[in-house]
């Protein structure tokens, strides 16, 4: 976790720096936003920027956006009033931390933007096989593709591979390919030269160069644009990159680890992913089993998260009752480890005493888990909605194909199918993509094309008829 502190280190901000350092962060300092920007441009990356609320946060935020630098901003200030916090957030800060600093609050903020403290918890034989394979391949420099459902802990595994490798003392850089807009991802990965585009006032070092000597994680690689896939393939093959607007290759020494929750072989068949890139990434494959396939890890993970969030909330250690353990073991946990972690966080907060009873383990909407069916009420409603949407969409597909008139193009039929499916899913892009059997990136690209052409597209939570 790399933290960049901006401002006068005297007084309370110095104390905040000390707390961040004690929590395991790598802390650097810049006296002003302009100096901080120069540092970030030069490749001295930061996972989090903490800045004095009196500094020009709006200028820094705009500069980071213009330079295509992804670094969340947290403002710190002695005046812990609503106006100071609101002004900081309005200027672009993600959070506001009042000073004097509270150690647990700073720890919570660091935890929110960092995955470093996520520990590998495994005892189930299905998971231990993957861990043993990871330890075996970690010392090599072979590219690794980590696959599995959402929430199984793919990034945790990537960090585990890095920590067991000969590059453990070097930088680990993670880039979420699905979270960064396509027009920004190229600069984020490869950097850019001065004048490469409007607003590129100076050279900027990308993640490939930041990770030089270490490991670069390309999270959700399946969502990368086809043009960038070609550039990435060359970077992996040649061990060199071209900055945007540059004319001279830059040598890099990195290990590539990629993750995906999609079947990349199917993505290759559908034309969404390059086959030659898949071969380059998939030298070694680590498939992480879903939580339902490693059930003997359930209680061990639960105990870990309970200890973690008891400490984070300043509460005494708690333990699970026998009924709570039985309920955890009998639930499906379709959101895998991420869902279990959130449930244990809620349970720590909702339980009144030192023992967490079954009624404290609830879904996000407050409904209790149903241990008899293995489904929560909340999850059952979602499953039923998706099931009905799928059935209705398939009916619509059949009816639509039966009523297709001669003269209609494939593109017109495809557009009707996509928009109808989206309507039936009440605008939920993820569910619609799953039903249609395409990636969320492909769906978004299609919808963007329709919107640009003036076609009405259902907003999330709505249908076109309701919109």
Average pLDDT of span 166-185: 84
Name the token pair of 202: 């100076």
Average pLDDT of span 383-409: 48
pLDDT band at residue 11, thresholds of 50, 70 and 90?
low
Query: Which range scores top for mean pLDDT: 80-89, 279-288, 409-418?
Result: 279-288
Pick 84 or 301 by higher pLDDT. 301
Question: What percentage of the chain reaches a pLDDT higher than 70?
Answer: 83
> Are 433 and 343 within one domain?
no
Looking at the predicted structure, is the pLDDT value of residue 127 above 90?
yes
73 three-class SS: strand
Per-residue pLDDT at 372: 38
| CATH number where 75 lies | 3.40.50.2300
> Are 283 and 150 within one domain?
yes
State how far the Cα of 55 lies from the Cα of 60, in Å rounded to an integer: 9
Place of tokens 């963007």: 448
The answer to whether 257 and 141 have CB atoms below 8 angstroms apart is no
pLDDT digits 0-9 by tens, 15-67: 777 777 776 677 888 889 999 988 888 777 787 888 888 889 999 988 887 77
Residue 31: inside a domain: yes
Whole-model pTM: value is 0.64
Mean pLDDT of the chain: 81
Residue 465: inside a domain: no
Average pLDDT of span 203-221: 90
Q: Which residues are CB-neighbours of 297 under 8 A, at least 6 positions away?
A: 121, 122, 123, 124, 127, 291
State how far the Cα of 176 lies from the Cα of 260, in Å rounded to an integer: 11
Pick 1 or 53 by higher pLDDT. 53
**78 pairs with which residues across the strands?**
none
**Domain span holding position 304:** 294-373
> Are 420 and 305 within one domain?
no
State how far the Cα of 357 lies from the Cα of 365, in Å rounded to an integer: 18
What Cα–Cα distance (Å) separates residue 456 from each residue in 410, 450, 462?
Answer: 19, 7, 12
Looking at the predicted structure, is the pLDDT value of residue 382 above 50?
no
Of the candidate ranges 64-73, 183-192, 336-345, the one whose mean pLDDT is the lowest:
64-73
Last residue of a domain, one of 373, 407, 429: 373
Element spanning 98, H or E: strand 95-98
State how far the Cα of 424 lies from the Cα of 355, in Å rounded to an integer: 43
pLDDT band at residue 404, thresholds of 50, 70 and 90?
very low
Output the CA torsion sign for 371, 372, 374, 377. Answer: negative
Find the distance separating the first CA and the last CA of the chain, reported in whole Å. 43
Residue 87: inside a domain: yes
Residue 86: inside a domain: yes
> Are 203 and 279 within one domain?
yes
What Cα–Cα distance (Å) separates residue 261 from each residue in 26, 96, 287, 437?
Answer: 30, 34, 10, 14
Per-residue pLDDT at 105: 67
> Are 353 and 262 within one domain?
no
> Are 170 and 187 within one domain?
yes
Pick 129 or 411 by higher pLDDT. 129
Last residue of a domain, one of 287, 319, 353: 287
> Are 140 and 97 within one domain?
no
> Are 364 and 388 within one domain?
no
- In the chain, the number of structural domains is 4
Beta strands in 282-437 (DSSP E): 284-287, 319-320, 355-356, 369-370, 375-376
Of the candidate ranges 50-59, 193-202, 272-281, 377-386, the one whose mean pLDDT is the lowest:
377-386
Average pLDDT of span 357-379: 66
Residue 150: inside a domain: yes
Residue 386: inside a domain: yes
pLDDT band at residue 107, thresholds of 50, 70 and 90?
low
pLDDT band at residue 278, thresholds of 50, 70 and 90?
very high
202 three-class SS: coil
| CA within 13 Å, CB half, 73 | 27
Average pLDDT of span 262-276: 90
Last residue of a domain, one of 244, 260, 287: 287
Looking at the predicted structure, is the pLDDT value of residue 377 above 60?
no
Residue 118: inside a domain: no
Average pLDDT of span 134-163: 93
> Are 130 and 250 within one domain?
yes
Question: What percentage of the chain reaches a pLDDT higher than 90?
Answer: 32
Looking at the predicted structure, is the pLDDT value of residue 255 above 90?
yes
């Amino acid at each position: 976790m790399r933290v960049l502190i901006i401002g006068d280190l005297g007084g309370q901000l110095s104390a905040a720096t000390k707390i961040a350092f004690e929590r395991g962060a790598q802390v650097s300092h810049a006296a002003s936003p302009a100096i901080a920007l120069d540092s970030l441009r030069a490749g001295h990356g930061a996972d989090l920027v903490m800045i004095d609320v009196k500094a020009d946060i709006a200028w820094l935020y705009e500069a980071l956006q213009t330079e295509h630098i992804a670094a969340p901003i947290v403002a710190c200030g002695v005046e812990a009033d609503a106006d100071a916090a609101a002004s900081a957030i309005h200027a672009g800060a993600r959070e506001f931390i009042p000073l004097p600093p509270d150690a647990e609050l700073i720890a919570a903020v660091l935890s929110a933007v960092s995955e470093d403290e996520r520990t590998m918890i495994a005892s189930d034989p299905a998971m231990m096989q993957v861990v043993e394979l990871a330890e075996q391949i970690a010392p090599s420099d072979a590219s690794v593709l980590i696959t599995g459902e959402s929430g199984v802990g793919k990034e945790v595994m990537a960090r585990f591979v890095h920590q067991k490798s000969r590059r453990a003392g070097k930088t680990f850089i993670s880039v979420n390919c699905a979270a960064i807009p396509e027009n920004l991802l190229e600069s984020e990965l490869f950097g850019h030269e001065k004048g490469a585009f409007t607003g590129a006032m100076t050279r900027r070092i990308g993640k490939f160069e930041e990770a030089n000597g270490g490991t670069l994680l390309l999270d959700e690689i399946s969502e990368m644009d086809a043009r960038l896939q070609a550039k990435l393939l060359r970077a992996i093959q040649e061990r060199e990159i071209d900055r945007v607007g540059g004319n001279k290759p830059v040598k890099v020494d990195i290990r590539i680890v990629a993750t995906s929750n999609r079947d990349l072989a199917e993505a290759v068949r559908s034309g969404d992913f390059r086959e030659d890139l898949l071969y380059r990434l998939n030298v070694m494959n680590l498939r992480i089993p879903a939580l339902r396939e490693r059930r003997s890890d359930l209680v061990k993970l639960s105990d870990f998260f309970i200890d973690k969030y008891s400490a984070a909330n300043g509460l005494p250690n708690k333990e699970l009752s026998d009924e709570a353990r039985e309920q955890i073991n009998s639930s499906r946990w379709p959101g895998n480890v991420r869902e279990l972690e959130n449930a244990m966080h809620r349970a720590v907060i909702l339980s009144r005493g030192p023992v967490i009873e079954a009624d404290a383990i609830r879904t996000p909407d407050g409904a209790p888990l149903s241990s008899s069916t293995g489904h929560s009420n909340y999850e059952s409603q979602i499953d039923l909605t998706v099931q009905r949407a799928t059935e209705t969409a398939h009916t619509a597909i059949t009816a639509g194909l039966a009523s297709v008139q001669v003269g209609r193009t494939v593109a017109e039929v495809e557009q009707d199918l996509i928009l109808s499916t989206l309507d039936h899913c009440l605008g939920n892009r993820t569910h619609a993509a799953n039903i249609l059997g395409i990636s969320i990136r492909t769906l978004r690209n299609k919808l963007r094309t329709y919107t640009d052409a003036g076609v009405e597209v259902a907003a999330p939570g709505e249908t076109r008829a309701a919109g």
